[in-house]
Homo-oligomer: A and B are copies of this chain.
Amino acid sequence: MAAARSDRAPRRPTISDVARRAGVSTGTVSRYLNGGHWVSAESSKLITRAIRETGYVANSTARQLRTGRSGTVAFVVDEAPARFFEDPNFEALVVAVGDALAARDRSMVLLLAGDAQSAARAETFLVTSGVDGAVTASAHPEHQLFERIQAAGIPLVNVGSPTGLEDRIAFVAADEREGARLMAEHLIAQGARRIAVIAGPAHSPGGTLRPDAFTAAVDASASEGAAPVVIGLRHGDYTVESGRAAARTLLAEHPEIDGIFAANDQMARGAIDALREDGRSVPEDVLVGGFDDSAFAGTEVPLLTTVRQDFGRIAEELVDALDKQIDAGVRTNVIVPVQLVVRDSTVRPGS
């Protein structure tokens, strides 16, 4: 092969080239590339210089041949920075995925997309930087993040069900349907009969799976007396303010509401604000349930009944699923169990 190859044919510098130039063993270079354990300061200096001089760059193809992985995973969140910092779920996820990777001595880089241009820049970075895979969250279809990453041949696992692409994109998700079902049965058991739903944006599981499963469970319920019914549904964008606006509209249209299910905790908080402004008490007049068990669900008054997502477990499964795809090209979908957490917002005093 080597003899037949024209001199113009590209050959990437290898770890051996770096070792030769630095005057150290390939094992030392390998240890350096895998985090620097047991590499002296002097060797580190020689190796970094040799990497610069040879133009060696780790990329997923080259490093996979050697170690099966490149050592770095990109976490791509398709939201603008302001929205990213506003939603406590992203914090929980970033911390959990970072921890899961660090426990395996691997690193995470975080990219925020949030619009088509940023998604294009993210794609370029993923292709050229040599990360060995991507975890994606909150992908907006119009930014074509999945298509871009898949076209670039980069292993990809999404957090949450990728609406409409479940058969093409690997994902790890909480058991959305089960969570919504548990919440429906709980609200009905607590006496709610005329229930409104505040859903998330249509591109996300909270905009489809959660409200659909909730409505199906309400329709299927066999309760005594008046049959429970979902009397109205509005979409929010997961912010407190959108939950407040949706609840206001729902209250104006259906003053008889006695229960609200919001597809995340922040919109549930907004609904509670709107109910208060309308002179109604939670839980005395209206029961309110959220989703996620995010920060503050269990600390702000009224303490919020919600469905707990286990972000630690989700992060572990994400890294496992990504590894399976990197190592064996296998696409896996994982559903992680959820848990109903009952607090004050759905339990009437004395009930």
Contact = CB atoms under 8 A, between A and B. Distances in A.
A266 interface: no
A321 interface: no
Given A45-B151, A112-B98, A124 B10 contact: no
A57 B128 contact: yes
The size class of the interface chain A forms with chain B is 35 or more
B124 A107 contact: yes
Interface string A94-137: 11001100100111111110000110111111011111000000
Contacts of A111: 107-110
Contacts of A17: 10
B48 A127 contact: yes
A35 B110 contact: no
A5 interface: yes
Interface in A124-167: 124-125, 127-131, 151-153
A125 B95 contact: no
A2 interface: yes
A27 interface: no
A57 B61 CA distance: 11
Contacts of A118: 102, 107
A42 to B, nearest CB: 11
A168 interface: no
A7 B5 contact: yes
B110 A109 contact: yes
A74 B121 CA distance: 14
A85 B74 contact: no
Contacts of A70: 128
Contacts of A339: none
